[in-house]
Amino acid sequence: MRQSETRAWLGALAAASLLALLLYAPSATGPFVGDDYGYVLHNEYIHDLSGDSLGELLDPRGAAAAYLTNYSPLAQLAHALQWQWFGTETVGYHLTNVLLHAGTSVLLAALYLAWGLPRAAAWILAAIFLVHPANVEAVAWIFQLKTICALALSLGALLLMKRHPAGSLALFTAALLTKISAVAVLPAAILRTLASDERKRSRSLWLLGWVGIAVLCSIPQQWAFSHGGSANVFQPYADVGEHFRTIVAIAGRYLALAFTGFGASAFHQIPPSSAWTEPWFLFGVFGLGAIGARAVVVFRRPGAEAAFWGFAAAGWLPTSQVVPFVFSMGDRYLYFVLPGLLGATFLAAQAAAQRLAGAGSQRWARPLRALPTVAGAFLVVALGAQAAVRIPLWSSELRLELDAAKNYPEGSVGLVLRARRAAGDQDPELGVALLERLADTGYDTFLPLLRDPGLAPLRSHPGFEAAMSRVAGNWIVAVAGRDPLIQPELRMLGLARWARREREDAIAAYRRGLGVGGPLDEAIRAELAQVEAGRALY
């Protein structure tokens, strides 16, 4: 690369970083939220960076992988380094995510340019990705470092694929070890190779290495995933038809979010699609049908557009709800979909504009060809404005909960907030009834409820303990099939048993936890002493 080109790319990186820092400044001091507690704040496997802990992080069937139900050793190592540098101060974690997101956006622009998009379009699409409101969750949520790093490494692998295949394979491997979602770039790599006439045979051999690495990395990931389980206990589907409709309806929601920013929310809890005439299902049918029709056309002669469609589809499939999640939708799941979706949509729009320009008068030819780029520039402003509204929500966990409750009042977050409100209004009957409804959904996160100061006025009501017993029971049922249980799970099992006043079972769980051994020995001994003495833990 010439010196002038290097300066230009460094300038682009500096500009993207400055814009991202300004945009995300309101969330820079935001607290640990949700999964941040498990991944960082309470993750004892990353707090002591030593030879033993490093071996634990790398072990494909180790306790660290089982604890997070994900085999992502490089992501955990990154958090371990952050913990050494930042500890419990969240600003450093947030700045890391923001700067990595800016760098990923520049890498995306480089990929668009390398795959033949016009310069203006490449930078506009990368700017859309940089400011997109759907990406706010991935950037502002600390534990999503894994998603940003995995995409950055994946884009680097695609960029090196042609000239440096060995380096490309190494980056792809690193991406998979950061987050298995990086497998989404494999179809794009295959389709680009099929479209190229240069050294196709040699590059095909390297791609076999990509496939082999993807298979190898999926084995420990599947073990970790199955160890934790992921059944949608909140929203079980009544039948296959409802499950299918919900998959399509959620795809429709994702398409609306991707192209308009509409529907962004914290902690989505989408209700099942109950009818074939449900609007989101019909919109999903239309959107997926249009994409499928276009894919049939471009896959006949694979090129850059086909590769981008493959990228988008592979990014969406793992989160499509074919295998249900507890939270069936998440803004962050678009992070691996948007790069392909934006590139493919632009190329499809460009082809349509060129056909219209060729069929019309010369007077309209140039404006029609420029239309996709102009529309992209408009989206940068419109989507950036929406992101600026959503980013401040991440400065407070309560703001996020209020956003989720507004959008999904019957979701678990909505029910908990309403129970708190009832407690504050001195209406314990309503508060306990809402907690019973929460238990009915299969909700199993009992410990925060027991420690929630907002629910304190309900604790004297006789129904509160019964509701908490049911929620703790849901957790016990959720781990019943896991064998063997790791130390953090055995500790939580002890807490759940004690929440249900099952003293002997709680003691047995704690003693099993000490028998397994691990970083929680001291905490377990302290809690075991409390239980043996009959004292409250909450």
**Model confidence pLDDT, tens digit, residues 446-497:** 988 988 999 999 998 989 999 999 999 999 988 877 778 888 889 999 999 9
Per-residue pLDDT, 358 = 62
pLDDT (0 to 100) of residue 362? 57
Token pair 């919109």 is found at 283
At 205 the pLDDT is 79
* Residue 88 to residues 29, 37, 81, Cα–Cα distance (Å): 11, 11, 13
Please give the helix or strand (H or E) that residue 357 lies within, else none.
Answer: helix 338-359
Instruction: Check whether 43 has a pLDDT greater than 50.
Output: yes
Task: Report the interhelical angle of 3-24 vs 365-390 (nearest 10°).
Answer: 50
CATH of domain 408-532: 1.25.40
Higher pLDDT, 350 or 401: 401
- Distance set, CA 413 to CA 200, 325, 407, 533 (Å): 52, 16, 10, 34
Q: Which of 272, 179, 262 is nearest to 218 (CA)?
A: 179
- Does the pLDDT of residue 225 top 80, yes or no? no
pLDDT band of residue 231 (cuts 50, 70, 90) is very low
- b/e sequence 337-375, b meaning 16+ C-beta within 10 Å: bbbbbbbbbbbbbbeebeeebeeeeeeebeebbebbbee
Write the pLDDT tens digit of every residue in 249-290. 999 999 999 999 999 999 998 888 989 999 999 999 999 999
- What is residue 300's predicted lDDT score, i.e. its pLDDT? 80
Task: Name the residue ranges covered by the structural domains of the chain.
Answer: 3-393, 408-532
pLDDT of residue 278: 94
pLDDT above 90: residue 168: yes
How high is the pLDDT of residue 2? Answer: 74
Q: How far, rounded to the nearest angstrom, does the alpha carbon of residue 400 sit from its chain's CA centroid?
A: 16
| pLDDT at residue 156, rounded to an integer | 97
Output the pLDDT for position 234: 41
Percent of the chain with pLDDT strictly greater than 90: 61
Q: Say what percent of the chain tops pLDDT 70.
A: 93
* Residues 295-303, mean pLDDT to the nearest whole number: 84
pLDDT band at 535 (very low <50, low <70, confident <90, very high): confident
Q: What are 373-399's pLDDT values in tens digits?
A: 777 788 899 999 999 999 999 999 999
Q: Express each pLDDT in 323-359 by its tens digit.
A: 877 778 999 999 999 999 999 999 998 888 777 766 5
Q: Examine the pLDDT at 518 and tell me if it is beyond 90.
A: no
Whether the predicted pLDDT of 303 surpasses 90: no
Model confidence pLDDT, tens digit, residues 78-93: 999 999 999 999 999 9
Q: Are 24 and 140 in contact (CB under 8 A)?
A: yes
Closest listed residue to residue 97, CA positions, set 77, 79, 124, 76: 79
Q: Which of 40-44, 50-54, 162-166 has the lowest mean pLDDT?
A: 50-54
pLDDT of residue 200: 57
Residue 368, pLDDT score: 55
- What's the pLDDT score for residue 232? 38
341 and 256 Cβ atoms separated by less than 8 Å: no
